Amino acid sequence: MTDSTRQPLRVGLLGYGVAGRVFHAPLIAATPGLRLTRVVTADPQRREQLAAEHPDARVVDDVAALWADPDALDLVVVATPNASHVSHARAAVAAGLPVVVDKPLAATADDARALVDEAHHRGVPLTVFQNRRWDGDFRTVRRLVEDGALGRVTRFESRFARWRPQIRAGWREGGSPADAGGVLYDLGAHLVDQAVQLFGPVGTVYAEVDRRRPGAQVDDDAFVALTHVGGVRSHLWMSAVTAQLGPRLRVLGDRAGYTCHGLDGQEDALRLGGRPDTPGWGEVTPDRYGLLGAGDDLRPVPTEPGRYQDFYAQVEAALRGGGPLPVDPRDAVRTVELIALAHRSAAERTVLPVPA
């Protein structure tokens, strides 16, 4: 890796589908100190998109070309389908290249744990793209919890729901366990991570996991109840078949509650070509503020700006020796463990303890 802080760190991106094109590439491009230099994709349409959107990046047909010349890169980002996360990340680690892996880290807890252990053993930085830690609504709830505005929190409700009655083609809706498809892996990886970040270790897991749409091969509707060691109960809903949406977040304490509606707008802005280095990025208008209070005594609370750009800013700083990586990969291992317990709880129709 280059020692000069004046030279941008050279980033290789594996995959230019939704994750690579919508999230990683624009965030990398907007981060001072990083430069997107190589992108692996063999799809002709995606190659055309890459040429139009990031003309300075070199397209690579085969990921093996990256490992053949590791000195040409300072960081690798794995944004390929879930089934290949571990193999690509392991290859990056073997090449001595720091690596960002899109969530979920792996399809199984054993694979996730082995990957993290290998990176630690080799001394190669590894982190996981849990971007929704930087959602504006989550940042607001974290501030309210830390400030004590809610008092002692007893219940946390979180929903990530959509209305997609038609099954879409692709691995996310495929039936292979190795693909780690379905809403628990896709949306649940965010909700579980957020709950644990707010309220700490989990003691028990209960889940209801269903396939609602005709012909569905993976779960498209799920509910997960986490009982945290500290006593908070997190109720998490994730669904592709929600015809009417509930609150995005509702947090109840013995002093006050907080409720907000609607998903953070950064994903939609990125899909429309927006960039986080533009003025007003991630800000929420007053009509969308959440409400804080109890009974009829409610007041709007300004929503913290969403800041997806902070993830890669922290990656860049960490690789230059300026602090920790933005997401501890052991957190991602625990998320995969909890998702696996949720699947098992639903299958066995019982509450399961979380191993220490």
Which CATH number is 273's domain given? 3.30.360.10
Is residue 236 a part of any domain in this protein?
yes
Domain that residue 95 falls in: 9-129
In a domain, 69, yes or no: yes
Q: Are residues 170 and 234 in the same domain?
A: yes
- Is 125 in the same domain as 139? no
- Evaluate whether residue 326 is within a structural domain: no
Half-sphere CA count of 40, side-chain side, radius 13 A: 18
**What pLDDT score was predicted for residue 169?**
84
pLDDT band of residue 1 (cuts 50, 70, 90) is very low
**Does residue 316 form part of some domain?**
no
Instruction: Look at residue 272 in the predicted model and tell me its pLDDT.
Output: 94
Q: Both 23 and 163 in a single domain?
A: no
Do residues 112 and 256 both lie within one domain? no
Looking at residue 4, its pLDDT comes to: 46
Residue 282 included in any domain: yes
- Give the strands of the sheet with 99-102, arranged side by side: 58-60, 34-40, 9-14, 75-78, 99-102, 126-129
Of the candidates 129, 153, 172, which is a domain's last residue? 129
Q: Where are the alpha helices (DSSP H) in 148-294?
A: 183-186, 188-199, 266-271
Question: Which amino acid makes up residue 254?
Answer: D
Q: Do 347 and 252 belong together in one domain?
A: yes
Q: Which of 106, 129, 152 corresponds to the end of one domain?
A: 129
Which carries the bigger pLDDT value, residue 76 or residue 177? 76
Say if residue 184 is in the same domain as residue 233.
Answer: yes
214, pLDDT greater than 90:
yes
Residue 47 near residue 74, CB atoms below 8 Å: no
pLDDT of residue 28: 98
182 is a domain residue: yes
How confident is the model at residue 322, as a pLDDT? Answer: 79
Inform me whether the pLDDT recorded for 270 exceeds 80.
yes
* pTM assigned to the model: 0.94
Q: How many domains does the chain have?
A: 2
Last residue of a domain, one of 129, 145, 166: 129
pLDDT at residue 6, as a whole number? 72
Any idea what the CATH number is for the domain that residue 41 is in? Answer: 3.40.50.720
pLDDT tens-digit series, residues 14-48: 999 999 999 999 999 999 999 999 999 999 999 99
> Residue with structure tokens 């020692």?
3
Answer whether residue 149 is part of any domain. yes
Quick one: pLDDT band at residue 170, thresholds 50, 70, 90? confident
In this structure, of 171-180, 183-192, 259-268, 298-307, the range with the lowest mean pLDDT score is: 171-180
Beta-bridged to residue 12, according to DSSP, are: 38, 76
Q: How confident is the model at residue 251 (pLDDT cuts 50, 70, 90)?
A: very high
Q: Tens of pLDDT along 3-12? A: 445 799 999 9
pLDDT grade for 177, boundaries at 50, 70 and 90? confident
DSSP designation for 8: P
Q: What is the pLDDT of residue 173?
A: 82
Domain match, 180 and 76 both: no
Domain assignment of residue 174, yes or no: yes
Q: Which residues of 196-218 are buried (b: 16+ CB within 10 A; e: fewer)?
A: bebbeebebbbbebebebeebeb
Separation of alpha carbons 184 and 180, rounded Å:
9
CB 91 within 8 A of CB 67: yes
- Based on the fold, state whether residues 162 and 265 are members of the same structural domain: yes
What integer pLDDT is reported at residue 307 of this predicted model? 98
Average pLDDT, the chain: 95
Does residue 105 share a domain with residue 48? yes
Identify the pLDDT of residue 301: 98
Whether residues 237 and 341 fall in one domain? yes
pLDDT at 2 over 50: no
The rounded percent of the chain whose pLDDT value lies above 90 is: 91
**Are residues 84 and 214 located together in one domain of the fold?**
no
Shared domain check, 61 and 206: no
**Mean pLDDT of the region 123-129:** 98
